[in-house]
Amino acid sequence: MADMILKKKALADFLRSLGRSYQVFGPKQEGGEVRFGPADGEVLLDYQNSRLSPKEFFFPQSERMFEFNADPKAEDAFLLKERPANLRPRLLFGIRPCDAKAFAVLDKIYGNDQYTDTYWFDKREATTLIGLACNRPCATCFCTSVGCGPFHEEGLDVLAVDLGEDVLLRPLTDKGEKALEAAGDLAKAGKKAAASAKALKTEAESSITSRVDMDKVNERTVMELFEADHWAKVAQRCLNCGVCTYVCPTCHCFDIQDEVSGQIGDRVRNWDSCMSWLFTQHGTGHNPRPDKTSRVRQRFMHKFKYIPLKRGGDIGCVGCGRCVVQCPVNIDVRDVVRDMNA
Amino acid sequence: MTAAEKTKEIFQPKIVTFLCNWCSYGAADLAGVSRMAYPPNIRVIRIPCTGRMSPKFILEAFRQGADGVWVSGCHPGDCHYIAGNYFARRKFTLFHDLLSYVGLEPGRLHFSWISSAEGEKFARVATEVVEAVRAVGPSDRFAKERIEVA
Amino acid sequence: MDKRTEKIREIAKRLLSEGRVDVVLGYGPGTVPLRNAPLFARTPEEADRLVWDSNCRVNLANFLPRTSERVAVVAKGCDARNVVGHIVEHQIKRDQVYIIGVPCQGMLDPEEVKKREGRAIESAVESNGDLTVKGPGFETTMKLGDLLRQNCLTCIHRNPPVYDELVIEPVPEQTGLDRYADIRELLGRPDGERYAYFKELVKDCIRCYACRDACPLCYCHVCFVDEHMPQWLGKSIDPHDVLTYHLLRAFHCAGRCTDCGACEAACPVHIKVRQFTRMLEKDIQDRYGYEAGMSLDKLPPLSVYRPDDPQEFIK
């Protein structure tokens, strides 16, 4: 299917007509921040990125995995029951290419030859992603250094580009084509539109001033990087809170716990953070990462060394810059990677 | 149940009661051996001293569905451990004010000083507490039954 | 350059070259606009990067507990009171810490800046009481005084009460402020409305614990959220658990909190967590006449008692 085009003022109708076949979500202004919510027609096009990543659509912060009743007299005694998941087809409009690339990376972590996380994939399969290319990357974006970019297509079903008065819609997958067909009423984009999009892409990519090099990080061994002497300095001011892990689109760790009330209970999965000492605390009392420095080191080693090694080169960071903006003590991942690459 | 039967059905509150071992628990014992009557809605947890009380216990009781919480200890000046109840008094004051501030209904959280000789006071305060909680009704604001997530 | 910056650098370099302290804990420039980062200066060269401006929101007293080093700490009024608190609570010895006191005139709230200038800011410069922010195609100047944090607007202890050296002459303290007008208004509402208000206040909480980890008072080896036998609250974003977390944390800060605002500054979803702690601060002032961290000789109110303490609600 070729690139399609839509008049910007027809965008609201486009989303409404999609709303007949999908539950549509898009970026909305909430107070001083942008958040993804139900898009009943009106969405933002002129924004940089949401405060929290949209990973919560596939990896909710708290999720009931199943419930159970241990009362032998109950009809459903000892049966593990999943609540029927709301798997109506969904459409996420307006996410940024970095967040989409993050989903592609997480697909490899949640699904591999050892196991498949159905809680993640059920939602992924039911969701179509129409991303919005970044015409104006933030000063903190460094996506082009980590295998991504403002017009990157990996992970998206459709790439939308804001051309000014028009919006270009480029279908990238079967799901994407299906969505554009469902909306109907779209014209084929002409050569001018395609050229316009290409020019915007070049401009956006060259406007990204934040760069990190990873050539030495890729060359060096794990132990060389692990035993470098800059980690203590980085960790000095770290609060070991969880802000970076929770705003990050590629962080994916979780904790599972049963919450029991009398005889009935729920098994719940919650976001967890490697910044917490409890994260690696053993039942014996031993903790392999007992101090702040080892935990801080772990986070950066995981993202920039272990994940590329284990997942065929994909970096565990997409350069969205959220952690840079939100870290209460301004630990800047770009500086840390520069230290690792020094 | 008919409408008439329903209106006759009276709400029986569950009140978790923390009693200090030396004074108030003794008072409860005395009320018992003296055959004093008071409503059976209190469920007693014996603690060594009101100084042992923590706001965590009060929140946990409400969380598990208690309609009311009552803490009772020795009179200030008479604490078996000398000063436990003095420290407790400050904690109770601030926590009572904090819970009330965030919307705990008045009548759910009670404190008293009852000595081991005051069996009659125990029965009287127990009745007061139970009726006060009964008047507020079943607890919902600080109770957690099942996790509330999507 | 702000006079305070020059003086802080001078003092830091002196202390380090004389070997008086092992490290000077101050602020350095951030990598994004309107942000400073804690700077641990261990040499006079590193000390030359110390700065002071209206973005010094992090409470550096947070880094003191359990350090074995001799530390000089750059402390504004509220932070210095937390250093006093740490000494009183035996988390650091008085002779281990050198307080570089900074009389403060308030810190910026980046959210206020964003409210007034919503476009993406690329640089922010302060000068003579003004803040000039620049971005692609625009430049806006605003008065610093209009952009201050809520706790700074009601601050009555801008000058450190305890210090080893002050970097400038004390600044006039604000007077005639009604610090708790909004708390009193809340207290006047029916309990159902208050409950709804607080549920709404914390609904966006993502349990990141930035508030706790930025707070100098929270230094327990095992925080109550990590206790598991018994476990007092769940780890999810269930509304009851979220409210329980904030209630218990506020209570643990009772009588010790200096309203430094580090909690609100750290929160990534901008929750006004001070609505919990300020009520307790007011209550403690009314009932026990105590203000945290004003004197090395006074113990916090929950560590002491008087035989005639108020008990009007106790039967």
Q: What is the distance of C-alpha C107 from the center of its chain?
A: 10
* CB-based contact, C266 to chain A, within 8 Å: yes
CA nearest neighbour of C53 among C15, C110, C93 = C110
Give domain status of residue B76, yes or no.
yes
CA distances from C208 to A273, A299, C62, C263, C269 (A): 8, 16, 17, 12, 10
In a domain, B112, yes or no: yes
Chain A residues within 8 A of B146 when measuring between CB atoms? 259, 261, 264, 266
Residue C298: strand, helix, or coil: coil
Q: What pLDDT is stored for residue A44 in this prediction?
A: 85
**Collapsed DSSP state (helix, strand, coil) of residue A226:** helix
Q: What is the pLDDT of residues A28-78, one digit of tens each?
A: 988 778 999 998 767 888 888 999 999 999 999 999 999 999 999 999 999
Asked if the structure places residue B148 within a domain, the reply is no
- What pLDDT score does A294 carry? 97
Mean pLDDT to the nearest integer, C254-258: 96
Please write the tens of the pLDDT for every residue from C197-254. 999 999 999 999 999 999 999 999 999 999 988 999 999 999 999 999 999 999 999 9
Element housing A25 (H / E): strand A23-30
Residue of B nearest to C303 (CA): B87
At B3, is the pLDDT very low, low, confident or very high (cuts 50, 70, 90)?
low
| Structural domain contains residue B9 | no
> What Cα–Cα distance (Å) separates residue A168 from each residue in A3, A4, A183, A300, A334?
7, 6, 14, 37, 32
CA distance B80 to chain C (A): 16
For the residues A255-274, what does the mean pLDDT come to?
95
- Per-residue pLDDT tens over the stretch C193-205: 999 999 999 999 9
**How would residue C314 be classed by pLDDT, with cut points 50, 70 and 90?**
very high
pLDDT in tens, B6-65: 545 789 999 999 999 999 999 999 999 999 999 999 999 999 999 999 999 999 999 999
Sheet holding A254-261, edge to edge: A62-69, A264-271, A254-261
Cross-chain CB nearest to C232 (options B56, B113, B128):
B56
Within-domain flag for B86? yes
Q: Classify residue B127: in a domain, yes or no.
A: yes
Chains that touch C (3 or more CB pairs under 8 A): A, B
**Considering the domain boundaries, does residue B149 fall inside one?**
no
Residue B26 structural domain: 21-136
**Beta-ladder partners of B69:** B16, B109
Q: B13 in a domain, yes or no?
A: no
Say which of B60, B91, B111 has its CB closest to residue C232: B60
Q: How many CB atoms lie within 10 A of CB B65?
A: 17
**Number of structural domains chain B divides into:** 1
For residue B124, what is the enclosing H or E element? helix B119-136
Chain B with chain C: Cβ pairs closer than 8 A:
113
* ipTM of the modeled complex: 0.94
Q: pLDDT tens digits for A270-324?
A: 999 999 999 999 999 999 999 999 999 999 999 999 999 998 889 999 999 999 9
Query: In percent, how much of chain C has pLDDT > 90?
Result: 95
Single-letter residue type at B75:
H
